[in-house]
Chains A and B, each alone.
Chain A
């Protein structure tokens, strides 16, 4: 690390510490306010939620203004430690383990670390469930196949043939040939040097594909492969639509072709694939 880099890093650390200190001060202020006015539900002070939230928000706001990026709401973590120590250990050491306490801890954790907790719940949790379901599915299939094998051997006196699960396949070669064998020029460049051409206008084509709505998959990899294959099919469909649009306008090619993928619909429940470019007539 050279001197200049070290200087920049030290300045960054200094600004980050200032932002954390500001966030912590705001959080402590909010916590003090809630304690002073006894704003509580069932004897449980709401400052435990709002103090880390306010600290994280204030720190993030300052960091975005001064440094230009989020530094991770570290003051929320400090407030979480402080409020938990103050409320649960110092002021109320006899607090027992019950539903209210566990619920309170869960809410505090959620308030202090929203990103991490959401990841644990939505990604980690669902991922673990999917993984366990996958193992369960493989065990049940193994048992079922062995029972069938024994049954066929005893009753039918023949070997039972295990049916292998088919992996979804997308024929890349066939797709490539299909796209490039329509007597139509697809070019991502803005010009085709060797040809004389006439521009006939800008063209668009869109394909909408329904998204897989299942939250949990027994075989995650297979589900992702199916999604990818559907996107590839959608892209082919979109390119063919674009070529048909241009052909119907008297063209036989497209320049500066762009393919975009995005989400559309309520809560992004569909994939949108768009192909666009300048329609041309090659002479």
Chain B
């Protein structure tokens, strides 16, 4: 499955636009993550716990989106957008990760 944020696929012929595909994932509260990133925040530095959680959440969202594209018979997603939205929660620790794009099918042979 090709994923691209571009409008089209270079040197490939798009056969059909299959529709919109989305994937979402939520990072909620976690005592370990929140407390330790809180400590790192006080003494300054990168909060790797959050980075790991965000990566996990992004992968879940992308996987969910890809599965939907496959079920529509697509073999690529173009116009891909990934966004991270803070949805409050206790001390702003709820983060929604969304991935969405346009599922298409393209001809495997190069143009």
Known: A122-B90, A124-B34, A268-B88. Is A194-B17 also a contact (CB below 8 A)?
yes
B96 in contact with A231 (CB, 8 Å): yes
* B42 and A193 contacting across the interface, CB-CB below 8 Å: no
Residues in A whose Cβ lies below 8 Å from that of B28 = 220-221, 223-224, 227
For chain A, the count of residues having a C-beta within 8 Å of the partner chain is: 56
Partner of B68 from the list A77, A176, A215, A220 (CB cut-off 8 Å) is A176
A172 lies within 8 A of B88 (CB): no
Kindly state whether residue A113 has any CB partner on chain B within 8 Å.
yes
- Report Cα–Cα, A263/B94, bound state, in Å: 12
Partner of A189, one of B34, B68, B93, B102: B102
**Interface residue tally on B, bucketed by range:** 35 or more
Cα of A221 to Cα of B28 in the assembled complex, Å: 8
B86–chain A nearest beta-carbon distance, Å: 8
A residues near B18, Cβ cutoff 8 Å: 180
A262 interface residue per 8 A CB criterion: yes
Query: Cα distance A74–B42 when bound, in Å?
Result: 8
Asked, given contacts A122-B90, A224-B28, A228-B26, whether A115 binds B98 with beta carbons under 8 Å apart, the answer is no
A113-B42, A262-B85, A271-B87 known; A128-B31 Cβ under 8 A: yes
Query: For residue B2, which residues in chain A have a CB less than 8 angstroms away from its CB?
Result: none
Residue of A nearest to B19 (CB): A180
Bound CA–CA A127/B35 (angstroms): 10
| Residue positions of B touching A, CB distance < 8 A | 7-8, 14, 17-22, 24-26, 28-31, 34-35, 38-39, 41-45, 64, 67-68, 71-72, 78-81, 83, 85, 87-88, 90-91, 93-94, 96, 98, 100-102
